[in-house]
A and B are shown apart, each in its own frame.
Chain A
Amino acid sequence: MVLNPNIIFYVLIFFSVYVQVFFLVTFFENRRKIIVRNNKIKITKYPAVTIVVPCWNEEATVYKTVCSLLNLNYPKDKLKIFLIDDGSTDGTWNAINKFSHYPNIKLFKKENGGKYTALNLGLLHTETDFFGGLDADSFVDPESLVRIMSYFEKDPSAMAVAPSVVVYNPKNLIQNAQKAEYHMGVYMKKMLSFLGAINVTPGPLTIFRKKVFNDLGPYRHGHNTEDMEIAYRMQKNNYKIEHCNDAFVFTSTPGTIKKLYRQRLRWIYGFINNTIDYRDVLFRKKYGNFALFTLPTGIVSILAVSYLFGQIVYDLGDFLYSKIIQVRTVGWHFTAESINPDFFFLDTHSALFLVVFIYSFVIFAIIFGRKMAEGKWSFSPNIFYFLIIFRILAPFWFLKAIYNTILKRKPSWR
C-alpha cells in the first residue's frame, strides 16, 4: 500500500468525497420527487404577496426587473410591488418613477443604509401574508411566483421557498463559467432542501411567510449577506425552507474577474462570519442536517481550497527553486526529457483517482442542475470553464475572506 504521510490532505479529500457522495445518495433517494413543470399551472388560492425591490444605483437594470415582475403570471391585485431607492446617486429614482402610476406599485426613497435596511422598510409597510425580495439586477420568469406559491399551498409548514437562480444572458468566459456554477447551485439547493438544510434564501425572489419576520424579527446586516443570516436564523428556529426548482430567476452576474472576486469575497466572508455568529448551532443534532451537514461542508470546503492552494504554491515554489538552482549551476538548457510522453511518469497516487471521483460528481451535479433548469441533458464546455477558472481564482477570495475575518475587516458591497 502506498501511503502518503500527508494526513491532513487525505482527511480533507475524505470529507470532500463524503460531501459529494452525500449529495448523490440524497439525489437517488429523492429523484422521483423532483418535478419540473413546463406549462402554466393554477393554484386554488392566490394569496397576496408583497415583493420588495431594493435599489442602489441600479438605473441600468431596474426598469427591466420591474417589467419582469409586472409580467408575472399572478393576479395583479394580489401582487404588491415596493420599489425602494436606497439613496442611489445615479438615475435610479427617475427610472423607478416611470412606474409611479401603477396601482400595485409603491415607491420609497430613503437615505442609503444598506440592502437590509431597504428590505426592512419594505417589511414595515407589508400588509400581506407573504413577503419576498427581488434584487434589482435580476429578472423573474413569468411562471416563477405561481410555482413558488404552489409549494406553500401544498405544504403549510413551509416558511420560505427559494427559487432556482440562473445566469442572465452570459456574454463572456467568466459569465459562462458562472452559468455552469449556478446550474450546480440549482442541484445542490434542491438536495439541501430534501435535507431541510438550506443555508441561503437568495436575494432574488425567495418568498417568505410574513410570520417568519413577525416571529424572528427583521433582516439584520448579516455581514453584508442578509439573505444568509435570515436563513441561519430560520434554521436555528426550525423554520422550514423549501426550494422550488422550476421557479426561475435570471440574475446578472459579474463580468470581470475583479467584480467576481468582490462578490465572492462578500459571500465567503458572510459564510464564515455568520457561521461564527451561529457557532452554537454547529454539530448540534437538534438543528438537523443544517448543523451536521451544510455548515461542516462549507467549513471543509474553505479548509480544502485553502490547503490545496497552499500545497500548489509550495510545489510551484519547490519546482522554481530547483529550476533556479539548475540554471545557476549549468545555465539554460532544454532537455528532451521534459517533453517525453511516457505513461510511466504519470502520477498514479490514490489522490489522483479520488480527485477524479470528486470531479465526476461535480460534473454530474452541473449536468443534472442544467437538466432541472433548462430541461435538457447536455454537456457544455461551460463546465470546463467553471472547473478551470474557479479552481484558479477561488483560493484568492477564500484566503482573503479568512484574512479579513481574522483582521475583522469588512468587505464592501462592490
Chain B
Amino acid sequence: MNDKIDWKKYLIVFLITISLFLTAGYLSNYFSDQKINQIKLIQDNIAINILSSETQFSLLQELSCKNVSGSLLSSELDELGRKLEWGQKNLGDTEEVSYLKKYYSLLQIKDYLLMKKISQSCKVKSAFILYFYTTAENCSLCERESFVLSSLREKYPELRVYSFDYSIDLSAVKAMLQIYKIKDTELPALVLDDELLTGFHSIEDLEEGLLKSFKLQEAKPEGDTKTGS
C-alpha cells in the first residue's frame, strides 16, 4: 500500500545511477585519452618528418631541390590543427591539450622556417601567412578571418597558413610577437611577406597581396633544378 516506502530501493537505484554515471565518465575519459594519444602520434610523426627534412636539407644543401616536395607536411599539419582545435573545444582546455597546442605551435614554426628556406633555395612558388588570433576573449573578427584563410588555402595550394594563439605561453611564439610588434589590441593579425596586417582583412585584400607575392617570385630569374648558389 501507499504508506510503505521502500527506502532501500531508492538508495539502491541511486547507487546504480551513480555507477552508470561513473561508467559513462570512464568511457568518456577512455575515448578522450585515445584522442589525445592520436594527436600525440601525429605530432611525433610530424616532428620526425621535419627533423628528417631539415637533416636531409643540411646534408645535401641546395642540390637536393629535386627531392624536396612542396606539399611535404602541410596536409598532416592541417589535420593536426583541426584535431587540436576540436580537442580544445570538446575535450576541455586541459593541461594536456594546452601542452599539445604548444608543441603544435613549435612544429608550425619549424615547418615555416624550413619551408621558407626550401622555397628560397629551390625557387618553389609559395606564400606564407602567419596568423595570430586569440581565444582568451570573444573575437568575432578572428572567427571571420579564419574563414577567409581556410577559403584562401583551398584556392591556392601553394599558400601555407600558420596560426598561433596570441595568449599561448611559449617563448618561440612570444619572440615572433616581438619581431613583428603585434599587440593584443590589434587582433587578428597577419604577417604576409614580412608585412604586418592588423584587423580583419577580406579575401580580396589578401588575394591581392598573395598575387603580388607570387609575381615577385616569378619576376626573379627563373630558377630550375640545376640552379646552384
Contact = CB atoms under 8 A, between A and B. Distances in A.
Nearest to A3: B92
A21 B17 contact: yes
A210 B27 CA distance: 55
A1 B1 contact: no
Given A325-B143, A350-B25, A345 B86 contact: yes
Interface residues of A, number: 43
Given A25-B13, A288-B4, A348-B27, A329 B144 contact: yes
A289 B5 contact: yes
Given A25-B9, A25-B13, A344 B2 contact: no
A333 B154 contact: yes
B99 to A, nearest CB: 16
Contacts of A348: 27-28, 31-32, 35
A2 interface: yes
A354 interface: yes
B23 A349 contact: no
Nearest to A291: B2
Interface string B1-31: 1111100011011101100110111011101
Contact of A344 (B83, B140, B147): B83
B61 to A, nearest CB: 38
B192 interface: no
Contacts of A335: 150, 154
Interface string B77-119: 0000011001000111000000000000000000000000000
Contact of A2 (B9, B29, B150): B29
A157 interface: yes
B176 interface: no
A253 B18 CA distance: 38
B148 interface: yes
Contacts of A345: 86
Q: Of B13, B23, B150, B202, which is in contact with the most chain A CB atoms at under 10 Å from its CB?
A: B13
B2 A290 contact: yes
Contacts of B86: 344-345
A12 interface: no
A286 interface: yes
B167 interface: no
A337 B81 CA distance: 13
A235 B90 CA distance: 47
A379 interface: no
A350 B24 contact: yes
Interface string A133-158: 00000000000000000000000010
Contact of A329 (B25, B32, B92, B148): B148
B2 A238 contact: yes
Q: Of B2, B10, B28, B144, which is in contact with the most chain A CB atoms at under 10 Å from its CB?
A: B2
Given A17-B20, A21-B20, 15 more contacts: A17-B17, A18-B13, A25-B12, A196-B1, A196-B2, A288-B5, A292-B5, A325-B140, A329-B148, A330-B147, A335-B150, A344-B35, A344-B86, A348-B27, A350-B28
Interface of A: 1-3, 14, 17-18, 21-22, 25-26, 29, 157, 196-197, 235, 238, 240, 285-290, 292, 322, 325-326, 329-330, 333, 335, 337, 344-345, 347-354, 357
15 contacts: A1-B25, A14-B17, A17-B17, A18-B13, A25-B12, A25-B13, A25-B16, A197-B2, A285-B3, A288-B5, A322-B143, A325-B143, A337-B82, A354-B20, A357-B24
